[in-house]
Amino acid sequence: MRADLSLISQWVSPQSQVLDLGCGDGTLLSYLAAHYQASGYGVEINDDNISQCIGKGLNVIQQNINDGLSNFASNAFDYVIMTQTLQAISHPHHLLEEMLRVGREVIVTFPNFAHWKCRYHLTVNGRMPISASLPESWYATDNIHLCTFKDFEALCQQMQIKVVTRQVVDTQHRDNIWMRLLPNLFGEIAIYRLTRRG
C-alpha cells in the first residue's frame, strides 16, 4: 500500500463508515475493511479501476466528483477521504463544503506548490516546475488549482473548517525536522484531517 494511504489509515477509527473519493483500484478501502472493519463506498470514474474495486468485493459508484455529492445524505459517513485529487477539482471549495456535509471528518492530500524546488525552478528557469509531486508539463497536467499549504489553511479559516491534524511529508511520505519547522518551504505533500468548527 502507498505510504500516504498507510498514514491516512491510522486516522480512521475501527468500524467506521468511509467514503473514498477518487478511490482508484480500491486499495485503501480494501485495507480499511480488512484491518479496521470499516465499510462504505468508493467513488471512481475510471472503468478499469471500477472493475478492480468490484473484483475486491467493494461498493463503488461511477461518478465524476466535479458534479458534487448530492446523491449522498448529510452525515452519512464518519470519514470522507480524497487523496491527490483536490488540485484537479473544478471548484475545490464547493467540494470541501460537500465533503464536510456528508462526513463527520474529511481527510485530503495534495502537493505543495510553495516547495523550495518549485520556487527555485520558477526563479531560475522562469517556467512552471516539474517535480516528483508535480510530474507533468503545465499543458498536460490534470492539476488546475495548484496551491500552497498556507493557501489551503487560509481557505479553511475562511470556510470555518477546523484543521484537526496536518502531516507534511516528501514524495516518499517521510518527514524530517525541516518539514516540521518550515512546512510550506520544505514539505512536498500535505495530509490534512478536517472537521467543522463548533
Backbone angles phi, psi at 105, to 5 degrees: -130, 155
Distance, CA of 149 to CA of 184 (rounded, Å): 6
Strand partners, 62: 44
Q: Is the pLDDT of residue 50 over 90?
A: yes
Q: What is the mean pLDDT of residues 45-71?
A: 95
Give the count of alpha carbons within 13 A of 27, CB side only.
Answer: 11
Residue with cell 502507498: 2
Q: What is the pLDDT of residues 137-178, one digit of tens each?
A: 767 667 677 889 999 999 999 999 999 999 998 888 788 898
Q: Give pTM, 2 decimals.
A: 0.88
Give me the CATH code for the 3-196 domain, please: 3.40.50.150
Confidence bin at 131 (pLDDT 50/70/90): confident
Long-range (24+ apart) CB contacts under 8 A made by 113-118 are 113/146, 113/147, 113/148, 114/148, 114/149, 114/150, 114/184, 114/185, 115/185, 115/186, 115/187, 115/188, 116/185, 116/186, 117/188
